[in-house]
Amino acid sequence: MKVNDTKNILKRSDLLSVDHCQNVMNSKAQKWRHAGGKLIELGAESLSDAELISILIGAGIKGKSAEKIADELILKYGSLRGISGKPLEDFRKIKGLGDVKIIRIAAALEIAKRCVDLVINELKEDDELRKEVFGVK
């Protein structure tokens, strides 16, 4: 923003009103009605595990948002690691998780597992990489 732009904004008292400030705050909140907006604006690393899962879930059900379903899943299993080792049938016990949503979560966890396996295999095979990462051979 240029200095002149800032001066013009300050001249407009309507931009400093309580109503305007409230509208700006509401527009930010509306951007993040779903965790996807937060991911776009702040990056994936800024999201909690539940927010990431809510993106996979997509839509909730009547009376239960995707975020609430994801929160329940994390609460029940403790973490992504806790979720990853469970049989898919266990997830059906959570209201709002049907086959499609369970499949999305399972696929994302499998992708994560494969990425970890690739890194582990690279570390096993590459002495220089091990030394760089861990400072040992």
Q: How do residues 27-73 score in pLDDT, each as one tens digit?
A: 444 456 678 889 888 889 999 999 999 999 998 899 999 999 999 99
- CATH 1.10.150 residue window(s) in the chain: 40-134
Residues ≥6 apart with Cβ < 8 Å to 26: none
- Average pLDDT, integer, range 76-103: 92
Number of residues in the chain: 137
**φ, ψ of residue 70 in degrees (nearest 5):** -65, -40
- What mean pLDDT is reported for the chain? 80
CA distance 91 to 76: 10
Asked whether residue 103 carries a pLDDT value surpassing 60, the answer given is yes
- State both tokens at 90: 């266990």
Predicted TM-score (pTM) of this structure = 0.68
Asked whether residue 13 carries a pLDDT value surpassing 60, the answer given is no
Per-residue pLDDT at 32 = 61
Per-residue pLDDT at 12 = 47
* Domain 40-134, CATH number (from 2.60.40, 1.10.3470, 1.10.150, 1.10.1660): 1.10.150
